[in-house]
């Protein structure tokens, strides 16, 4: 049994805002994808230890979503307490679902320890109560999300292995103000059919409010969209991380070097989709 799990970075290949709900959430349609890399979560005897390049930003917060997930799991199933080690490799407030992915990885670890199915209805219900992205992060596969993003369906097509570059301009982007900045105009649903085609025909309705808050996001998108052979460049979630898909590893490497030369202080991750 593995005592470690990757908390795979979440991307929104498209994110369509449909309406604001009375409960304060938003009705969305999104196409989730996940990269091969992300944070790392390990099972320990007790407490929470946070390490890694972004550990100082997060700290050993007792309200960390990992511990909330573990407490919810134990409240439902019982069993021994667990501790965790988090290697925080992804930026904070970055649109990559970092906290949600960390919590999902913790739930997978507890299920592995106890011999439970992490995709069982009980686990999905626990995950949804903790956060809208966590059910998608449990499986960490290409999926369509509706409702708050926690109503999941299988996406057509297979993007596994697709080279992707993630770039963050090192500007934290708080989710609330970005969602509040959406103009509440419904620009239509996601297209059906193949996931890549749907993504190419889609959009991220939160790009405009994110750019209004941090204009550097627009600069980043312009840089990515100018790269040779780029297939799709878009902001993920509520930002500020943006991504670019490429047809092959060589095109990815060229873009990675170009971004590093243009903006050496920006965070980058050259990886592949799962």
Which residues does the annotation mark as catalytic? 10, 133
Cβ contact 98:39 at 8 Å: yes
Ranges assigned E (strand) in 45-139:
48-51, 83-87
Neighbour count for residue 194 (Cβ, 10 Å): 14
Cβ contact 128:150 at 8 Å: yes
Q: At a CB cut-off of 8 Å and minimum separation 6, what does 112 contact? A: 1, 2, 5, 118
Greatest Cα pair distance in the chain: 53
* Cα-Cα-Cα-Cα dihedral sign, residues 132, 185, 197, 192: positive
Strands 83-87 and 48-51: parallel
């Amino acid at each position: 049994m593995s005592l470690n799990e990757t908390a795979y970075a979440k991307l929104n290949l498209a994110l369509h805002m449909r309406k604001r709900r009375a409960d304060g959430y938003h009705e969305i349609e999104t196409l989730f994808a996940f990269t091969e890399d992300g944070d790392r979560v390990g099972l320990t005897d007790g407490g929470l230890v946070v390490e890694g390049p972004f550990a100082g930003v997060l700290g050993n917060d007792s309200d960390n979503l990992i511990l909330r997930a573990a407490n919810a799991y134990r409240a439902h199933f019982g069993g021994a307490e667990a501790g965790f080690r988090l290697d925080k490799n992804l930026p904070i407030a970055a649109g990559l679902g970092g906290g949600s992915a960390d919590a999902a990885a913790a739930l997978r670890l507890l299920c592995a320890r106890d011999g439970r199915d992490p995709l069982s209805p009980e686990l999905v219900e626990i995950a949804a109560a903790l956060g809208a992205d966590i059910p998608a992060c449990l499986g960490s596969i290409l999926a369509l999300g509706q409702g708050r993003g926690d109503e999941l369906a299988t996406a057509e097509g297979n993007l596994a292995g697709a080279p992707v570059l993630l770039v963050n301009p090192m500007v934290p982007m708080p989710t609330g103000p970005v969602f509040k900045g959406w103009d509440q105009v419904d620009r239509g649903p996601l297209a059906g059919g193949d996931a890549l085609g749907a993504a190419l025909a889609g959009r991220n309705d939160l790009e405009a409010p994110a750019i209004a808050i941090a204009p550097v996001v627009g600069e980043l998108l312009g840089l990515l969209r100018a790269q040779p052979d780029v297939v799709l460049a878009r902001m993920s979630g509520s930002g500020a991380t943006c991504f670019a898909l490429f047809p092959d590893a060589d095109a990815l490497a060229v873009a990675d070097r170009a971004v590093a030369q243009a903006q050496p202080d920006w965070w980058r991750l050259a990886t592949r989709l799962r």
